[in-house]
C-alpha cells in the first residue's frame, strides 16, 4: 500500500489513494482498477486531475510530478508576482543577452511559431499593453481605459515575438517595448506537460482541466470523455462534445476576465493591432490534440473575429473551431458541427466552408485584413 509523503499531498488526496489501494487489493489480479482524482490550486485556478485504470502508487507518483511542474511554471511564468518573469521583462528591453529560465525558452519558441502563423494576432510580446489595461494583476480594481496616447505609443513600437533572439538558454530582446505575457497559454502548456508525465508512467486514460483549458486521453471506463461547450455569454451550455482518444478543448471568452467602467465592460482579449478589447467576438472554442496550440489558436481566432477566423484556423492547421460573435451567432466548420450534440437549438449557427487538413509548418502566415 502506498505511503503519502509528508508535504507532498493534501490529506484528502492521500485518503483517496489509500482507499483506492485497498479496493485494488480486493480485486487481486483483476485488471479493473478504480479511478483516482485530485485537485489543487495553480495560476489562481483550480486544477482537476482524473486518472482511470491506474495503480495507486503510479497515480501517487504522477501527481507528485504534475504538482511540481505546475508549481515551477507558476513561479517562473506568473506576471502577477515579482518572480522570474518579472526579471526577464526587466532585461528584455535592455537589448543585452541574458540567461532565461529553462521553463521559459520552449514557450518563446512555440509562441514565435504561432505568432508567425497568425500574422501576430497571437502576440505574447505585447505584455505592456495588457499591463496598461490592468490585466497584469490577478484582480484589476478601480481600472479605467488608458489614454489614447499611451495606447498609440505601444502600437507604434509594435513589439512582436520576432524581436526576441534565442540561443539555447540565452535570450536577447531587440525592442525596448518588449514585455512577455504568456497568461494566454501557460496553463495549457502545463496541461500538456501533465499529460506527457502520465504517459511516461504508462497512464493511458486521464483528464486534466484548469480554468477554460482541458485535455483528455483514452476513455472513461470504456466511454468517451464528454466536455461541455458554454454559451458565448457564459450562461449555461450550448453543446456537448465527446473526446476522440486524445484531444484538448480550450475556450477564450469575454466573461473570463473583465472589469466595468461607466457602464461599459472591458475584457482582457485585446486586439494587438488596435490596442483595445475586441468587440465583435464573445467566445472562441478550439479542439486540437495539443492544449498549447489550441490556446494560442483560440486567442488568435478571437482577435480575427467572425469575418477572418476561418483563414487563421486554416493557417494553423485546425480541424475543429467555433466562434461566437457579438450577436450570439455561432460560426463553426461542418466537421465540428457533426460532432456536437446541441443542447440549445435556439442559438443561431452559421457553418463555414470546411477546414482542410494542412501541415502548419508548410503554411505561411494567415492573411487577414488589418482591423
In which band, very low, low, confident or very high, does the pLDDT at 260 lie, cut at 50, 70 and 90? Answer: confident
Please tell me whether residue 91 adopts helix, strand or coil conformation.
helix
In which band, very low, low, confident or very high, does the pLDDT at 35 lie, cut at 50, 70 and 90? Answer: confident
In which band, very low, low, confident or very high, does the pLDDT at 263 lie, cut at 50, 70 and 90? Answer: confident
Q: Percentage of the chain with pLDDT > 90?
A: 73
Parent domain of 272? 218-362
User: What pLDDT was estimated at residue 341?
Assistant: 96
Q: Percentage of the chain with pLDDT > 70?
A: 86
Residue 223 CA to residue 219 CA, distance in Å, equals: 6
Q: Is the pLDDT of residue 371 over 50?
A: no
Residue 344 CA to residue 224 CA, distance in Å, equals: 22
Q: Is the pLDDT of residue 8 over 80?
A: no
Residue 32 CA to residue 269 CA, distance in Å, equals: 45
Greater model confidence, 35 or 201 = 201
In which band, very low, low, confident or very high, does the pLDDT at 5 lie, cut at 50, 70 and 90? Answer: very low
Residue 192 CA to residue 258 CA, distance in Å, equals: 27
Q: Tell me if 309 is assigned to some domain.
A: yes
Residue 199 CA to residue 92 CA, distance in Å, equals: 36
Greater model confidence, 371 or 70 = 70
CATH number of residue 237's parent domain? 3.10.520.10
Residue 310 CA to residue 188 CA, distance in Å, equals: 22
Residue 131 CA to residue 108 CA, distance in Å, equals: 19
Greater model confidence, 304 or 358 = 304
How many CB atoms are closer than 10 A to CB 112?
Answer: 18
Q: Is the pLDDT of residue 182 over 50?
A: yes
Q: Tell me if 299 is assigned to some domain.
A: yes
Q: Tell me if 105 is assigned to some domain.
A: no
How many CB atoms are closer than 10 A to CB 82?
Answer: 9
Please tell me whether residue 23 adopts helix, strand or coil conformation.
helix
pTM: 0.86
Alpha carbon 124 to chain centroid, angstroms:
13
Torsion of Cα atoms, 188 then 192 then 198 then 201, to 10°: -150
Q: Is the pLDDT of residue 70 over 70?
A: yes
Number of domains present in the structure of the chain: 1
Q: Is the pLDDT of residue 10 over 90?
A: no
Q: Tell me if 175 is assigned to some domain.
A: no
In which band, very low, low, confident or very high, does the pLDDT at 244 lie, cut at 50, 70 and 90? Answer: confident
* Average of per-residue pLDDT across 333-347: 94
Q: What would the pLDDT profile of 142-166 be if each residue is shown by its tens digit?
A: 788 999 999 999 999 999 999 999 9
Q: Tell me if 342 is assigned to some domain.
A: yes
In which band, very low, low, confident or very high, does the pLDDT at 25 lie, cut at 50, 70 and 90? Answer: very low
Which contacts of 193-197 are long-range, i.e. CB under 8 A and separated by 24 or more positions? 193/66, 193/69, 193/73, 194/49, 194/66, 194/69, 194/70, 197/62, 197/65, 197/66, 197/69
Amino acid at each position: 500500500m502506498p505511503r503519502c509523503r509528508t508535504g507532498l499531498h493534501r490529506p484528502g488526496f492521500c485518503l483517496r489513494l489509500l482507499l483506492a489501494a485497498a479496493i485494488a487489493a480486493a480485486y487481486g489480479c483483476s485488471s479493473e482498477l478504480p479511478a483516482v482524482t485530485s485537485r489543487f490550486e495553480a495560476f489562481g485556478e483550480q486544477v482537476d486531475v482524473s486518472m482511470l485504470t491506474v495503480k495507486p502508487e503510479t497515480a501517487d507518483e504522477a501527481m507528485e510530478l504534475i504538482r511540481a511542474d505546475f508549481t515551477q511554471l507558476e513561479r517562473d511564468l506568473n506576471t502577477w508576482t515579482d518572480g522570474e518573469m518579472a526579471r526577464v521583462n526587466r532585461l528584455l528591453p535592455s537589448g543585452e543577452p541574458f540567461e532565461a529560465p529553462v521553463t521559459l525558452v520552449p514557450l518563446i519558441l512555440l509562441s514565435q511559431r504561432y505568432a508567425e502563423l497568425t500574422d501576430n494576432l497571437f502576440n505574447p510580446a505585447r505584455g505592456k499593453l495588457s499591463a496598461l489595461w490592468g490585466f497584469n494583476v490577478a484582480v484589476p480594481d478601480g481600472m479605467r481605459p488608458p489614454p489614447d496616447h499611451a495606447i498609440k505609443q505601444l502600437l507604434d513600437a509594435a513589439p512582436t515575438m520576432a524581436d526576441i533572439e534565442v540561443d539555447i538558454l540565452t535570450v536577447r530582446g531587440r525592442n525596448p517595448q518588449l514585455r512577455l505575457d504568456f497568461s494566454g497559454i501557460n496553463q495549457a502548456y502545463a496541461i500538456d506537460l501533465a499529460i506527457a508525465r502520465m504517459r511516461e508512467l504508462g497512464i493511458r486514460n486521464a483528464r486534466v482541466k484548469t480554468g477554460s483549458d482541458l485535455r483528455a486521453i483514452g476513455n472513461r471506463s470504456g466511454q468517451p470523455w464528454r466536455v461541455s461547450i458554454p454559451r458565448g455569454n457564459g450562461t449555461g451550455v450550448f453543446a456537448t462534445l465527446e473526446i476522440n482518444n486524445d484531444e484538448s478543448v480550450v475556450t477564450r471568452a469575454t466573461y473570463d476576465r473583465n472589469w466595468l467602467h461607466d457602464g461599459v465592460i472591458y475584457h482582457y482579449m485585446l486586439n494587438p493591432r488596435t490596442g483595445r478589447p475586441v468587440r465583435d467576438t464573445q467566445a472562441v472554442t478550439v479542439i486540437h490534440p495539443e492544449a498549447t496550440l489550441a490556446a494560442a489558436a483560440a486567442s488568435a481566432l478571437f482577435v480575427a473575429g467572425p469575418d477572418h477566423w476561418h483563414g487563421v484556423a486554416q493557417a494553423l492547421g485546425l480541424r475543429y473551431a467555433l466562434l461566437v460573435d457579438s450577436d450570439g451567432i455561432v460560426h463553426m466548420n461542418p466537421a465540428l458541427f457533426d460532432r456536437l450534440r446541441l443542447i440549445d437549438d435556439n442559438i443561431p449557427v452559421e457553418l463555414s466552408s470546411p477546414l482542410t487538413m494542412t501541415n502548419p509548418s508548410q503554411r505561411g502566415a494567415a492573411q487577414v485584413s488589418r482591423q
